[in-house]
Amino acid sequence: MSQAAGTLKHYFVTSEQQFDAAKMGMWLFLVTEILLFSGMFVAYAVYRAWHPEVFAHASELLDWRLGGLNTLVLLASSFTVALSIHFVQKGQNRKVVVLLLITLLCVAIFMVIKYFEYTGKFAHGIFPGAGYAPHGEAYAEYDIPFAPQFFSIYFIMTGIHGVHVLVGMGLFVWLVTRVVRGHFSSAWYTPVELTGLYWHLVDIIWIFLFPLLYLI
Amino acid sequence: MGDQGTVWLPEAASTVAGDVDALFYFILWVSTILFIGVIGTMVLFAWRFRRRSSQDRPQPVRENKLIEASWIVVPTLLVAIVFVWGFRVFLELGIAPPNSYEIDVRARKWSWLFEYSSGAQSSELHVPVHRPVKLRMISEDVIHSFFVPAFRVKADVFAGRYSYVWFEATRQDTFVVACAEYCGMAHSQMLTRVVVHSQDDFENWLANNAADADMTPAERGERLYSQQGCFACHSLDGIELTGPSFQGLAGSTRMFTDGTSAEADANYLRQAIVNPAAEIVQGYEALMPGTYSSLSAADLDALVAFIEAQ
Amino acid sequence: MHEGSYLGASRGLKSWLLTTDHKRIGILYAVAIAAFFLLGGILAILVRTELTAPGETVFGQDQYNQLFTLHGVVMVFLVIIPGIPGILGNFVLPIQIGAKDVAFPRLNLASWYIFMAGAVLAVLGWLLVGKVDTGWTFYTPYSSGASNAVLWLTSAVFVAGFASIFTGLNFIVTVHKMRAPGMTWNRLPLFVWAIYATAIVQVLATPVIGITMVLLFLEKLLQIGIFDPALGGDPVLFQHFFWFYSHPAVYIMILPAMGIISDLMGTFSRQQVSGYTFIALSSVAIAFLGFLVWGHHMFVAGQSALSSIIFSMLTFLIGIPTGIKVFNWVATMYKGSVWLQTPMLYALMFLFLFTIGGLTGIMVGVLAVDVHLHDTYFVVAHFHYVMMGGALIGLIGGLHYWWPKITGRLYNETAGRIAAVLVFIGFNLTFFTQFILGSRGMPRRYHDYSALMDVMPEAAMLNLASSLGSYILAAGLVMILVYALHSLFRGKLASANPWGACTLEWTHTGPVPDAHNFHETPLVTRGPYDFHLADDVFGSDEEDS
Amino acid sequence: MAQGHHIIPIRTLAVVFAVLVALTIITVITARIELGVANVPLALAIAGSKALLVAIVFMALKYDNQVNVLVLSLGVLFAVVFLSLTLADTELRGVLGITDAGTTVIAVEAEEVLQEEPVPVAAYQAPEEVYQRYCITCHSLDGTVGVGPSLTGLTDRQPPDSILQSIMDPDVIVVSGYTGLVMQATLNGLGFYTNVSDASVDSLIAWLGDQ
């Protein structure tokens, strides 16, 4: 309890109130993220509805195996984050560190795969916007109207998602150092829980990106 | 430019203007009555219940449910009326009569170009009186907006997509045409006039100007027809070559291989030139190249006009 | 100043720039926004000066286009949107609900810095890169083909958006979690209800302007072809994106002002605000309905007819909760004790101007009539009646009302009334003339209307009147600035509750609140306008002036 | 336990994770089966269920304050409003004749082009096939003059290099009496230059010599 008391800000009355406020604040922030991504989903939906064949065709260029692997990696990281909250609630901080490190590993794998996907596209002239000039076998046939729109939307959506993943990575590193320094206990672990919420949302966004971009 | 209109509205010189004005004035007067009611009551209360001393102790007024309900219901009814009314006039504004005389409009920074079926071109719009005129408009750059205050019509003009506006002028006169959508530096200079002629004068004007214009769109279309080699596959005399003949093509109903059909209107023809593979007419194969999409917008218009003339 | 008060708690520039006290952050916002308002106002005067006579008067058309663009951007994004929540929301809201601060004070400070960063980007772009003449709406393809300074301005709007999001987020959590014991939802002052509803809009709508600006930025930088028709994009899609934010943003601007007016009507009538529940819930209703009407900006922009019909119908639905508010405000004075102090003059002025703004809003919401009025000065007049006659007059009224609480001093009441009259006359002269100009057919954003003079010879006279009105309006605003500054240094010291108000900020704190608002958490036992239960607020020594 | 929060059992978390993995596999499999119009809604439904699972269990919404559920629902609701009202415009332009159908008339819609299976670039094609597919419309083999000259006795008139140039770059020399640009435009449109391998072109020229 002493730790919890030490973290109570003067303008709150109880630590329960402080925790609830922090959590609600986080949820509101997540809602702004949903609305931010909704803009890109709208752009996707509008252009897909206008040019369904182009979009279906262009999505075949994206490798569903890599996308699927990334989905699994992200799901696994969500799982380990959920577990780490379980253990921080029980005060087993050593396990928390291990789980967070595994999470970090998953995040790293995700970004490495993303890197290879991106460079693979760039090598064949698949760029967002005016730079779009596909060449090479199996790529040249994508030089069709509105395929640039698909790939622009693809790069923007996964790009902004990727930025969120990088931010998450930074948050996990920060969390690990704080757990190691013994900042958290079963009495106070708000940052772990909030980072977890953020990370799950990043995962949920990807859950939608994967079928929309890679599968259908 | 004779009639100057009223304090609120400019002269009304089209068939729809009367309906728009009636609705405008209805809302204006209802609003004025409401405004006087609300602000009058406000002033009355502020005076009648003004503070007389710092020791005033007003007692709270019990809320009157009937009054609360009435100022929900009455405004709802009022807005329902103006919505339905506005909706009806909007339909009238939106649907051009089928016998409309069509004029092509090209908007660009910062001028208007009007092209008539006779081949005449002008920077001022010339129309016959008492005849519905439908404008097919396209922009060469940014968004513009065709606005004739006296006709109460306005429509934005985009690149890459036709938009339409129609009106029937009721008086022989000249009226201002303005660009209403901000379009850059000389936006406020993008004005021209619409000249309403009698039917005879209009024919004369067309004839005089067609002679002066170096070529009509249809004539330019004819030149393109041979320049671009369209004749290789499309005859003008009804003989079926690799592609459909142009004779009687415009306005006919086209049956497509996927079972759908469409009327061969201007948009269809344009589409069929820039993207021939989109819809294949039954009995033909997808052989026509897609390279004609690189033709300029003016050339495409000319070709469409040429095909429509066959 | 009083020892221990928030003003005197600590000293030095650093104590202000690093403060997490919501009251001081409110002051930081006030200073910044006053500066931007001055800038935006000067630009407005320059625009009006150009229009005093037909033809080129002072500025070339290129300069003129930049003037109205910057006027729009500065006023919308840097003044009205952050205005009331940033200044008065920050200062008043936590005290009104009996909290010691907002839920996230550091985030609150951060939002001010983010806001300033956005402003700096905008100003830097203007100074370094120059020319932006897209209008504040940034319509594509004009904006995506225009000069590079558009990139700066879109970045500025993007950044400033986060400030708005964080402010809104903070207020929602504060209202939910930080209320004092006894401060139930039906005892919240109506200003709090309004800021709360506003905050919902800020949180839900602002991210969309963020992504819109990102996409516009990329359209310009990489030609992604989403909005530019030359690349296969759709310019009307940009308008959907833009107005999905910018229409709700109108309610970010006007709702807080409505909250201020509710408080003013109650306090200066010494009367229970009529239809408290209706007013509170209508704020929330307006916030939600506000999301469903953006397409009424696009009736002539070639959107589908079905969309136009849906959006027109939904637009009228907003008129209903708005009407409820107006009628209830008037009814509040019934059998009250109406005290016509300067803040109340602004409240009545608000009612006058906002009713005109609202009714003309119905006019431009009607499909067929809007076809004629769209993009004319009628629309310019309409939104100035709502944005300036509503939002800014509300802000000015609120600043007068809370001035004694913020500064601990009184302003000169006579000067206040004279300025109010000047503002009222100047405003109506400036903008009522524009209704007539617009419905007679003068399009907006016109540098030169000489070509229209053939058909509307009165245009010169009306424009001149409008410009003269703007000078009178400016004189009134400058006068406010002068007596406000005078009051800061020479003003009479105020008592704790000069207006005899009933809400917490007047009754539980001293003349100026101390750094922590309340020594003990207050226990709330009555509603915000229960004057008949509140003998303690009467007997204040303030004489009627 | 000062925060007094529900601790979600490891078992529950593991089950949810397993279900998520399973759903991922299912969505990949179903997407690769041709289901016509059902593919898109099915993929979205699976994604929606996965998202819901993550929100309810991983994000602990089930055990959380109801107000947070409301917050999330509002966010989703307004994203849906944004999407559906925008589509109400973009999908229905042209109703009432106020604007014309479709979004862009100048830009080319390429959907249907894609329905033709592109011929692999490298594949060798017999000269008869090439001729039937690309040339026969304009060039006869029996001496009659069509849009272009007949190809009988072509090798007598032109050396193979010149024939190659006439195919690959037909506008360099245009025989009088015929129209330039047509051949290249047609061949481009038919995909000749991308779909016919060099070897096929060589054998086509050789084959023409025999006609």
From D106, which residue of chain C is nearest by alpha-carbon distance?
A: C232
Selection from B14, B19, B17 nearest residue B173 by Cα:
B14
* pLDDT at site A3: 47
Angle at C296 between CA C290 and CA C300, to 5 degrees: 165
Task: Considering only CA atoms, give the Rg of chain C.
Answer: 23
CATH code for the domain of B90: 1.10.287.90
What integer best gives the mean pLDDT of chain B?
Answer: 86
Domain count for chain A, please give it. Answer: 1
Contacts of B188 in chain C (CB under 8 A): 61, 443, 445-449, 451
Q: Helix/strand/coil (H, E, C) string of C352-388? A: HHHHHHHHHHHHHHCHHHHHHHCCEHHHHHHHHHHHH
Q: How confident is the model at residue B280 (pLDDT cuts 50, 70, 90)?
A: confident
CB A198 within 8 A of CB A103: no
CB B273 within 8 A of CB B216: no
Is residue B247 classed as helix, strand or coil in its secondary structure? coil
* pLDDT at site D129: 79
Is residue A147 classed as helix, strand or coil in its secondary structure? helix
Q: How confident is the model at residue D198 (pLDDT cuts 50, 70, 90)?
A: confident
Same domain, B126 and B172: yes
Task: For D127-209, give the CATH class.
Answer: mainly alpha
Instruction: Return d(Cα D68, Cα D46) in angstroms, integer.
Output: 24
* pLDDT at site A99: 96
What integer best gives the mean pLDDT of chain D?
Answer: 77
* pLDDT at site B82: 93
Q: Compute the average pLDDT of residues D79-93.
A: 91
Selection from C84, A202, C274 nearest residue B63 by Cα:
C274
Instruction: Return d(Cα C260, Cα C395) in angstroms, integer.
Output: 8
Q: How far is CA C106 from CA A210, C16, C164, in A?
A: 37, 13, 15
Phi-psi bin for D96: left (phi > 0), alpha (psi -120 to 50), beta? left
- Reported as a single tens digit per residue, the pLDDT across A83-120 is 999 999 999 999 999 999 999 999 999 999 999 999 99
Q: Compute the average pLDDT of residues B28-41.
A: 96
CB B255 within 8 A of CB B281: yes
Instruction: Establish if D35 touches chain A: CB-CB under 8 angstroms.
Output: no
Q: Does residue A2 belong to any structural domain of this protein?
A: no
- Chains A and C form CB pairs within 8 A to the count of 113
Q: How confident is the model at residue B243 (pLDDT cuts 50, 70, 90)?
A: confident
Structure-token pair, residue B100:
């409309």
Domain that holds residue B25: 2-46+62-94
What integer best gives the mean pLDDT of chain A?
Answer: 92
Element (H, E) at B125: strand B125-128
Q: What is the per-residue burial (b if ≥16 Cβ within 10 Å, else e) of D79-105?
A: bebbbebbbbbbbebbbeebbbebbbb
Q: Does residue B57 belong to any structural domain of this protein?
A: no
For strand B144-148 and strand B153-157, is the pairing parallel, antiparallel, or unpaired? antiparallel
CATH code for the domain of A171: 1.20.120.80
> Residue ranges per domain, chain C?
13-544
Q: Does residue A190 belong to any structural domain of this protein?
A: yes
Instruction: Return d(Cα C384, Cα C41) in angstroms, integer.
Output: 13
Q: How far is CA C177 from CA A17, A48, D62, D141, in A?
A: 7, 43, 20, 88
Structure-token pair, residue D32:
């690769």
Q: How far is CA B156 from CA B106, B153, B176, C299, in A?
A: 12, 11, 17, 9
Q: How confident is the model at residue B241 (pLDDT cuts 50, 70, 90)?
A: confident
Select from B274, B277, B289 the Cβ nearest to the Cβ of D112: B277
Q: Does residue B284 belong to any structural domain of this protein?
A: yes
pLDDT of C304 > 90? The answer is no
Instruction: Return d(Cα C313, Cα C321) in angstroms, integer.
Output: 14
Tell the burial category of B235 from Cβ atoms under 10 Å away from its Cβ (0-12, 13-18, 19+).
middle
- Reported as a single tens digit per residue, the pLDDT across C151-183 is 898 999 999 999 999 999 999 999 999 999 999
- Residue C449: count of CB within 10 angstroms of its CB: 23
Q: Does residue A170 belong to any structural domain of this protein?
A: yes
Length of chain D: 211
Select from C271, C340, C363 the Cβ nearest to the Cβ of B58: C271
Is residue D59 classed as helix, strand or coil in its secondary structure? coil
Q: How confident is the model at residue D165 (pLDDT cuts 50, 70, 90)?
A: confident
What lies within 8 Å, CB to CB, of C378 at 6+ separation is C360, C363, C364, C434, C435, C437, C438, C439
Select from D103, D106, D137 the Cβ nearest to the Cβ of B274: D106
Instruction: Return d(Cα C131, Cα C94) in angstroms, integer.
Output: 42
DSSP string, C469-529: HHHHHHHHHHHHHHHHHHHHHHPPBP-S-TT---SHHHHSS-SS-BTTS-SS-----S-TT
- Residue D178: count of CB within 10 angstroms of its CB: 17
Q: Compute the average pLDDT of residues B244-253.
A: 86
Instruction: Establish if C44 touches chain B: CB-CB under 8 angstroms.
Output: no
CB C385 within 8 A of CB C357: yes
**Architecture, CATH, for domain C13-544:** Up-down Bundle (1.20)
Mutate to test the interface with A, among D15, D24, D37, D86 (most CBs of A within 10 A): D24
Structure-token pair, residue C141:
């393809």
What lies within 8 Å, CB to CB, of A86 at 6+ separation is D7, D8, D9, D10, D13
Instruction: Return d(Cα B129, Cα C154) in angstroms, integer.
Output: 47
Structure-token pair, residue D129:
């096939």
ipTM above 0.95, yes or no: no
For chain B, positions 214-243, list CB contacts with chain C under 8 A. Answer: none
Q: Compute the average pLDDT of residues B94-100.
A: 87
Q: Which of A1-5, A40-44, B32-36 has the lowest mean pLDDT?
A: A1-5
Selection from D93, C66, C265 nearest residue B163 by Cα:
D93
* pLDDT at site C194: 97
Contact yes or no for A149 and C224 at CB 8 A: yes
DSSP string, C191-245: HHHHHHHHHHHHHHHHHHHHHHHHHHHHHHHH--SSS-GGGT--HHHHHHHHHHH
Which residues of D sit within 8 Å Cβ distance of B?
96-113, 116, 137-138, 147, 179, 181-182, 185-190
Contacts of D147 in chain B (CB under 8 A): 229, 232-233
Strands of the B144-148 sheet, one edge to the other: B125-128, B192-197, B174-179, B144-148, B153-157
Angle at D95 between CA D89 and CA D100, to 5 degrees: 90
How far is C-alpha B165 from the chain's CA centre? 2
* pLDDT at site D185: 66
Domain that holds residue A200: 12-215
Which residues of D sit within 8 Å Cβ distance of C?
67, 74-75, 78, 81-82, 85-86, 88-96, 98-99, 103-104, 106-107
Q: How far is CA C13 from CA A32, C17, C24, C407, in A?
A: 34, 6, 12, 17
Whose tokens are 């900042």? That residue is: A183
- Reported as a single tens digit per residue, the pLDDT across D43-85 is 999 999 999 999 999 999 998 889 999 999 999 999 999 999 9
Select from B61, B147, B149 the Cβ nearest to the Cβ of C335: B61
Mutate to test the interface with C, among D82, D87, D89 (most CBs of C within 10 A): D89
CATH code for the domain of B128: 2.60.40.420
Structure-token pair, residue C134:
């897209």
Q: Which of C73-77, C465-469, D184-188 has the lowest mean pLDDT?
A: D184-188
Q: Helix/strand/coil (H, E, C) string of C311-341? A: HHHHHHHHHHHHHHHHHHHHHHCCCCCECCC
- pTM value is 0.84
Instruction: Return d(Cα C336, Cα A161) in angstroms, integer.
Output: 57
Domain count for chain B, please give it. Answer: 3
The reply to whether omega before C126 is within 30° of 0 (cis) is no
pLDDT of C534 > 90? The answer is no
